[in-house]
Every structure is written in structure tokens, then in C-alpha cells.
Amino acid sequence: MKLILKKYLPFAILGLAFTSCEPEFDTSIEDNPITSSKGTADFSKYVAVGNSLTAGFADGALYIDGQQNSLSALLANQMKAAGGGEFTIPLMNDNIGGFADIPNFGPRRVFDVASGLPVLLEGTPTTNALDVQTGPFNNMGVPGAKSFHLFAPGYGNPANLSSGTANPYFVRMASRPDATLLEDALSQEPTFFSYWLGNNDILGFATSGGDSSEEITAVELFTQTVQGGLAQLSADGTRPGIVANIPDIKTVPFFTTVPNNALVLDAEQAANLTGFFRAYAGIVTQGVVLTATMGNPSLATPALLQQANAIGSQYAFTFNPGPNRFIIKVEETLTNPRGIRQMTAEELLVLTINQNALRTEGYGSVAITPDVLGVLGKLQAGGTPTQEEAQSVLNAVNPIADNDALDTGELLAITEATNTFNAIITQTAEAFNLAVVDVKSVLEELQSGIDLGNGNIVSSALGLNSAFSLDGVHLNPRGNAELANRFIKAINETYGSTLKTLDAGNFQTVKAQ
């Protein structure tokens, strides 16, 4: 061994002597600082105002990696070459997401190979909303914020958490409990800002959970908050900034991934299900007659019979081999006493619907048990089922719940609100000389796919080449990079700057863990 050491030592010494002889580039990064010109804008202090899409929310939660790949963080990075300054982010405590001290803010979703579906990450959130971070923060994106929350006093006050008028994300970053979002943005004296609010005014805070029960913001209030917010943020049109509009929910995979006709049947299943609803229709008809005649069907008039038939026959759905549309729950009315119907072609299902139940538990159609089969057999043989047996047939229908679907009425209201709000956003932004990004068009393009070069297509369809994260609402890093490029183009066009775009294909789509 001594021999080895003796031999080796001179080499080690020589090695040390020569490690300084590293190759030099003709033009090194250090010698060649990139220069993007800022045009008429000033990027030295960029403040991003917005909701989850600005914050970097992804995979159903806010977590560090998502925040660092957020649209606004990517933008700020490109601004650095044109005099942009530091971009501070109220980083969460972990890559799990969710809050430890607030109920119902769970971890992010991960892809589960076994089921092929997103599932909740196994892990316990470690971020405390009440552990207020010291700002100010350039990224003022607050997941869940609606347009009017910009002005909402107490939106960051922990005392208001229980009543639901405070937002834990803002609680964690607000400069003081009663500061407003707008105040915390303006007090930083931004030289450039982005404003992207309004999505939640339509979909509601809880949309990422699939419950669209919240009201759409009234047009008057929306107009007021957009005009008031942009007036102050743009200092009445003297401060440069960029404003984004609201996408159409029909281009968001959260609503387009689970088809409304995923009830795929073979010939026998189709015939059985059709037969079931014939029986169901008969039982309903019978029931209407019995109710109207107080249990004496012999008293029924032809008019009553006709009316009862009309009511019952709406449930005699016909199923065909192949894909069939699901049955959904709607309001129970006099004309639709069971409160169910088949979905229309336009109606949508949410991504968070229990897809296993759709596949195996008859969710959206019928959960046929042996008992029910027995009753059907009895009916077929011409027998009369007992009231209990009839009820078991009625109960076997398992319609899709309201919060798992967007029905025609809801869709109409949403489309109308989107168009109205976007008109307000665009008009106001232009009035204040601001750049505008048409995000609605970008998401429409993503429907058919955007070529990032060399046939590398990014699209809205969830999967390895998607622009969307696993929650189907928020973009993944690749989607954020592509959207950041659209922001950059709009900024460059408006202010004559030369911010460089990103190679979106270099950004990941599905997080491996």
C-alpha cells in the first residue's frame, strides 16, 4: 500500500496544480450579460395580483415547486434581463401543499399508476396559515380570490377565518390583519404589475373541489372592482402593466375530461337497462295514478291516465349498445317528480366525480341488486309488485349529483358571465393603456394543441403532454411557460420591450412525485 501511496501522491499534487487550467469559452456568460430592452416599461419592481393561477397553485394545492414554476415567477425571471428585480414569493413550507391548521386544505394530487387517476398525495401538510410570513411579496396571487377581494378588508384577518370571509392564503401573507390585497400590492410601489382576477367570480372558490354552488358575482360589482382596481394599480393609466381575461370553462379539462356519455354498454346491458326504465316508468305512472286517486286506481279518469302516462314515460329512457349519456339529478317538480333525467349533449361532468363509482357502482345509471332483478322478473311475468318492491326499483336509480355536473342552465349563466366580464376587463385595460392577454383564446388553441416546435404538441387533454396539472383547472409548469410566452408577447407589443420567450418544452408536465 505504501508503494501505491508513493506512486499516487505526485499525481494528486500535479492534479491540483492543473485543476486551475480549466477551458475557457470564447464568449462566456459572465462576459456577455443578456440584454433584453425594457422599452417604455420599467420592470424593476414587478408585482403580480391575481388568484391561484398567479400564485402557482397546481395539482389541487399550493406547494413550493408549483409556486416557483408559477406564471408570475417565470415572467419575473424573464424580466431580469431587462432590469427586473427580485421577485419574492410567500413560499409554502413544503411540497405537500395544504394547511396544517386549517381544515379542508389537504395535500396536492399525484398520478396513481394503478388506477390511472390522480389521487391525494400521502402526506401531512406542514404549512400553518396563522404563521404569518414577513413580506412584502411580489407574488400577490391569492388562491380563491375573487375580483372584489382586492378591496376586502379583513380578508387576511385570522379572526374572520371561521366566518369564511378571510382567506388562509392571504392571512399568511398580509402585512397586517386588516390590510387589503390592493393595499399590500400598492404599498410596494410597483413599477409594473399584472392583474388576473375574475375566474373565481364565475366558478366560485370551491370549484377546484367540484362544488359550484357559489353565486356568480353581479355584473355591477364586477365592473366596479375591475375599474377601481385597475385605476389604482395603473395609477390612472400611467403605470405599465398587463391584464389577462377569463377562459371559457368549456376549454378547461376539469369540465371536459370525463365525458357525459361514458356509460358504455353492450347489447345485453343496453336492453336490460332499457327494460329497467320501462318498468321504472310504469311504476311511476302507477304511482301518480295511485296518489291522485288516493289508492283507488279504478277511479282514474282518462285525462288522469294520460297525464300520469306523460309523467311516467319521460323516464322510459332508451339505451343503445355503445356509449350512452348518464342520468343526472335535477330539481324535483310536479312534471318531473323523480327529479332525474338523461344528460344533454352539452352538459358537463367535473373531473372530481367518482369515476370508480361511474364504472362499477352504477353511478349515473342504476345499481341493480338481485332483489331489484326479482321485482323486474315479477313485472315481466305480469305480476303486480308490492309498494315496497316498487320502491326498491325507484331507489335503484343512482343519478349523478348536482355538484358533479354543470347543467344547461348553469352553463348558460357561465357563458354569459364570461363574455360580459371579459368585455369589461378588456375595455378597462385598454382605457388605462395596459397590455392585454387573451387567455381565453390561448385555452381554445390548447384544445386542439399548440406545437412547441419539432412536433412537440402541448394540449389541454390531461396526460404527459398536457398544459394542465392534475387538478384539471390549473396549469402545470409547461402550461405556465407557454402562457408566460403569451404574456411576454403582449408586453413586448405594448411597451416595445424585447423580453425573451421561454422554451416551454423544457418544462415538466406531470410531476413524478
Q: How far is the CB of 239 from other proteins (least distance, A)?
A: 28
Asked whether the CA dihedral 452, 453, 457, 463 is positive or negative, the reply is negative
Using the minimum distance from each CB to other proteins, give the nearer residue, 133 or 465: 465
The reply to whether 28 sits near other proteins by the rule CB under 8 A is yes
Question: What letter would DSSP give residue 470?
Answer: T
- Least separation in angstroms between residue 66's CB and other proteins is 9
Question: Which residues, numbered 403-422, are part of the site for other proteins (CB under 8 A)?
Answer: none
Residue 324 one-letter amino acid: N
Which of residues 32 and 387 has its CB atom nearest to other proteins in the complex?
32
Angle between helices 477-495 and 71-79 (to 10 degrees): 50
Please report which helix (H) or strand (E) contains residue 429, including its range: helix 408-431
Strand partners, 383: none
For the bound state, the minimum distance from the C-beta of residue 30 to other proteins, rounded and expressed in Å, comes to 9
Per CB under 8 A, the list member of 55, 100, 110, 416 interacting with other proteins is 110
CB of 314 to other proteins, least distance (A): 46
Residue/partner pairs of 466-469 with CB below 8 Å, 24 or more apart: 466/253, 466/509, 466/510, 467/509, 468/252, 468/253, 469/58, 469/59, 469/60, 469/66
Q: What are phi and psi for residue 58, nearest 5 degrees?
A: -160, 155
Residue 133: count other Cβ atoms within 10 Å of its Cβ: 15
Does 512 participate in binding other proteins (rule CB under 8 A)?
A: yes
User: What are the residues facing 323 on neighbouring strands?
Assistant: 264
Nearer to other proteins, 24 or 215 (CB): 24
Q: Does 86 bind other proteins (CB under 8 A)?
A: no
Q: Is residue 14 at the binding interface for other proteins, with CB under 8 A as the rule? A: yes
- Residue 334 binding other proteins, by CB under 8 A: no
Report d(CA 99, CA 62) in Å as an integer.
9
The number of beta carbons lying within 10 Å of the beta carbon of residue 117 is: 14
Q: Does 68 bind other proteins (CB under 8 A)?
A: yes
Is 97 a binding residue for other proteins by CB under 8 A? The answer is: no
Single out the residue of 53, 62, 73, 439 in contact with other proteins (rule: CB under 8 A). Answer: 73
Q: Stretches 192-200, 328-336, 351-359, 449-457: which one binds other proteins (CB under 8 A)?
A: 449-457
**In this chain, which stretch among 111-119, 169-177, 266-274, 316-324 interacts with other proteins, using CB under 8 A?**
111-119
Binds other proteins (CB under 8 A): choice among 22, 268, 331, 451: 22
335 binds other proteins (CB under 8 A): no
By CB under 8 A, name the one of 37, 95, 133, 498 that touches other proteins.
Answer: 95
Per the CB < 8 A criterion, the answer to whether 351 and 255 are in contact is: yes
Establish if 442 lies at the interface with other proteins (CB under 8 A).
Answer: no
Number of residues forming the site for other proteins (CB under 8 A): 54
- Min CB(277)–other proteins separation in Å: 41
d(CA 201, CA 151): 14
For residue 163, the one-letter residue type is S
Interacting stretch for other proteins, rule CB under 8 A, among 171-179, 353-361, 427-435, 447-455?
447-455
List the one residue from 118, 141, 241, 477 that touches other proteins (CB under 8 A): 477
Distance (Å, whole) CA 242 – CA 430: 10
Burial grade of 393 (CB within 10 A; 0-12, 13-18, 19 or more) = buried
Reference 500, options 75, 196, 83; nearest CA is 75
> Which residue, 31 or 268, has its beta carbon nearer to other proteins?
31
In angstroms, give the least distance from the CB of 403 to other proteins. 29
The angle at the Cα of 447, spanning 444 to 449, to the nearest 5 degrees, equals: 110
Sign (positive/negative) of CA torsion 105, 139, 72, 513?
Answer: negative
Choosing from 44, 64, 161, 231, the residue that interacts with other proteins (CB under 8 A) is 64
Q: Which of 340, 439, 467, 502 binds other proteins (CB under 8 A)?
A: 502
CB 157 within 8 A of CB 167: no
Place of cell 366558478: 203
Considering the complex, state which of residue 202 and residue 450 has its C-beta at the smaller distance from other proteins.
450
Three cell numbers written together for 504: 416551454
Select the span of 104-112, 191-199, 242-250, 387-395 touching other proteins (CB under 8 A): 104-112
Q: How many CA atoms lie within 13 A of 289 on its CB side?
A: 21
**Least Cβ distance, residue 5 to other proteins (angstroms):** 9
Contact predicate 53/197, CB 8 Å: no
Taking CB under 8 A as the rule, does residue 116 contact other proteins? no
Question: Looking at 60-68, 194-202, 414-422, 425-433, which segment touches other proteins (CB under 8 A)?
Answer: 60-68
Q: Which of 46, 57, 105, 111 binds other proteins (CB under 8 A)?
A: 111
Using rule CB under 8 A, residue 57 touches other proteins: no
Options 27-35, 84-92, 243-251, 369-377: segment touching other proteins (CB under 8 A): 27-35
- 355-391 core/surface letters (b: 16 or more CB in 10 A; e: else): beebeeebbbbbebeeebeebbeebeeeeebeeebbe
Start-to-end Cα distance in the chain: 46
Q: How far apart are CA 127 and CA 145, in angstroms?
A: 19
Can you give the binding site for other proteins, defined by CB under 8 A? 1, 3-4, 7-8, 10-12, 14-15, 18-19, 21-29, 32, 34, 64-65, 68-69, 73-74, 77, 95, 110-113, 452-456, 464-465, 477, 481, 500, 502-503, 505-508, 511-513
